[in-house]
Structure 1
Amino acid sequence: MDTMDAIMTRRSIRKFEERQIPDEILNRIILAGTYAPSALALQPWAFVVIQDKEFLKEISDYCAPVLLSNMRKSVSHEGMSDKFRKLLEGENYSIYYNAPTVILIAGKNTCRFKDIDCSLCAENMMLAAHALGVGSCFVGSSEIAYENKELLEKFRIPEGSSPVGTIAFGYPLEKPKAGEKLTPKVVRI
């Protein structure tokens, strides 16, 4: 798969097989992340690989009601759709879509551009996963868990770093079509 094909055909996957991703594949996905550009080549990232189903359920069970409560308090639903609200209300809903592996990307707190650098790293990881036949979905809902000190400690994030993003990974059970792409606003000077 060439680069443009990987970019144009990657989709967020929300239905995964139960089988676990082999370590060799996960290591290649993480390695691809480390090849992302970073400000001053500081490479501020660290990775927490989570495959413990009980821990993933604990995180989801904590986050889902908080997200629902936030949506009910806000007229605008904080940008979240009614479709997402209905998913959150579902009995067996997981914010990680029952993916067998979730990787949290943490950034060094001393690095001013850690959020940008780690986001570039995340995109590399998702593109590499796609090229290797593994689906992925960036999960913003995890940020609710980071506000809970007790839960945050269980992530075992390296000292001096904090969470930037979380990605669910697994073998896809679906092949979503591309959504309509808006015409970009381009200013040329």
Structure 2
Amino acid sequence: MKDITEVIKTRRCVREYKEDPVPDEDIKFLIDCARYAPSGFNMQPWSFLVVKNKETMRRISESGKKAMIPLLEPIKDTSKKASDFLVFLKTKGTSMFYNAPVLVIILGNKNAPTADYDCAMAAQNMMLAAHSKGIGSCWIGGALPALMDNELLKELGAPADYKAIAPLIFGYPKGKTQTPEKVEPDVKWLR
């Protein structure tokens, strides 16, 4: 097991995966790590949907691509990343899930006041734990517009009164992921 500081500083968003499946035991381990995240009022407002079915992932991806295109069109001329991602979304056969073998959707209880933050911390625990085991991950925020469809969530088996917060993909990285530039944050000390 790697040192936690090394895990934090070397984790990357992986967008190229081998076809090798991630064992269910490893997914259970990641979910177990997620449940140790802090939560407001100790409500632990999360639930997890594990999707390994390629057709289901394809359907969610196609729905997400359709939902994201109109959101990015207005900013494509002011953001190179938005413009590049728009090309990706419009390219036939691309997957928002980058052909990862597993999608885990972290759902948050709509009645918990801090569910969004709590589930985000659970997601970070999962991604760090995955990296510590040599499993790549990426938070696919672009899938959220599709996952706001309550009928789709119901079809996927989401509990009533839960919403999608963190769609995460997991798999074994196909190669080395580039380290993005990290800028120094603006820090003000009040003493």
Superposition TM-score tier, normalisation by shorter sequence: over 0.9
Q: Which runs of 4+ in 1 moved over 4 A?
A: 76-80
Query: CA offset at residue 164 of structure 1?
Result: 1.0
Please name the residue that 2:137 is paired with: 136
Structure-2 residue corresponding to 1:53: 54
The DSSP-based 3-state class of the residue aligned with 1:95 is coil
Task: Provide Cα deviations, 1:35-69, integer angstroms capped at 9, x if missing partner.
Answer: 11111221111100000100100111122123223
CA distance in 2, matches of 1:150, 1:108: 16
Q: Which residue of 2 aligns with 1:122?
A: 123
Distance (whole Å) between structure 2 residues aligned to residue 154 and residue 56 of structure 1? 13
Instruction: Please identify, of 55-64 and 3-12, the stretch whose mean Cα deviation from structure 2 is larger.
Output: 55-64
Aligned residue in 1 for 2:98: 97
Aligned to 1:21: 22
**Identity between Structure 1 and Structure 2 (%):** 34
TM-score (norm 2): 0.92
- Matched residues in 1 for 2:185 and 2:99: separation? 34
User: Structure 1 stretches of 5 or more lacking a match?
Assistant: none
- CA RMSD between the two structures: 1.6
Distance in 1 (CA, whole Å) between partners of 2:77 and 2:109 is 31
Deviation at 1:155, TM superposition (A): 2.1
Q: Count how many residue pairs are aligned between Structure 1 and Structure 2.
A: 188
2:35, 2:101 → 1: CA distance? 22
- Code of the aligned partner of 1:94: S
State the partner residue of 1:184: 185
**2:13 partner SS:** coil
| C-alpha spacing 1:78/1:97, structure 2 compared with 1 (3 Å) | farther
- Which whole-Å CA distance do the structure 2 matches of 1:22 and 1:135 have between them? 13
Letter in 2 for 1:4: T
Question: Does 2:174 match 1:173?
Answer: yes
Equivalent residue, structure 1, for 2:9: 8
